[in-house]
């Protein structure tokens, strides 16, 4: 199970954030040869998804993810669910982050 973190994203703006992955001893995890993926869905069983842009910075153990302003503009205001997963070189998948995304409505157009 990934760490739970709820996100608030302003509709029509660029969103970006990062998380540092630590091992059980509190040391930065070496993420060499890992890839990342993440999606937002209205609910867990929804067939429609919006994908995060995910970058893995292997030497710092950091996973950066975000959405463009055009992408957040296309999301209706409301609550969604999301997760971020990492895949290692042999194909093992780990969920590192999950939670609720709240898209706040935009006034400026």
| End-to-end alpha carbon distance in the chain | 39
**Looking at the predicted structure, is the pLDDT value of residue 41 above 70?**
yes
> Could you confirm whether domain 3-104 is CATH 3.50.50.60?
no
Report CA torsion sign: 107, 54, 61, 6: positive
CA separation for the pair 105, 64 (Å, rounded) = 24
Taking a C-beta distance cutoff of 8 angstroms, is the pair 78, 88 a contact?
Answer: no
Q: How do the residues of the chain divide into helix, strand and coil, expressed in percent and rounded to 5?
A: 5, 50, 45
Q: pLDDT band at residue 1, thresholds of 50, 70 and 90?
A: low
Mean pLDDT across the chain: 94
Residue extents of the structural domains in the chain? 3-104
pLDDT tens for residues 63-103?
Answer: 999 999 999 999 999 999 999 999 999 999 999 999 999 99
């Amino acid at each position: 199970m990934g760490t739970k973190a709820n996100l608030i994203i302003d509709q029509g703006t660029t969103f970006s954030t990062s998380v540092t992955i630590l091992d059980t001893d509190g040391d930065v995890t070496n993420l060499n040869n890992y890839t990342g993926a993440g999606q937002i869905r209205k609910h867990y069983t929804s067939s429609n998804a919006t994908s995060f842009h995910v970058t893995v910075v292997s030497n710092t153990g950091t996973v950066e993810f975000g959405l463009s302003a055009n992408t957040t503009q296309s999301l209706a205001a409301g609550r969604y669910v999301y997760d971020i997963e990492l895949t290692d070189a042999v194909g093992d998948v780990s969920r590192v982050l999950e939670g609720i995304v709240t898209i706040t409505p935009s006034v400026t157009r």
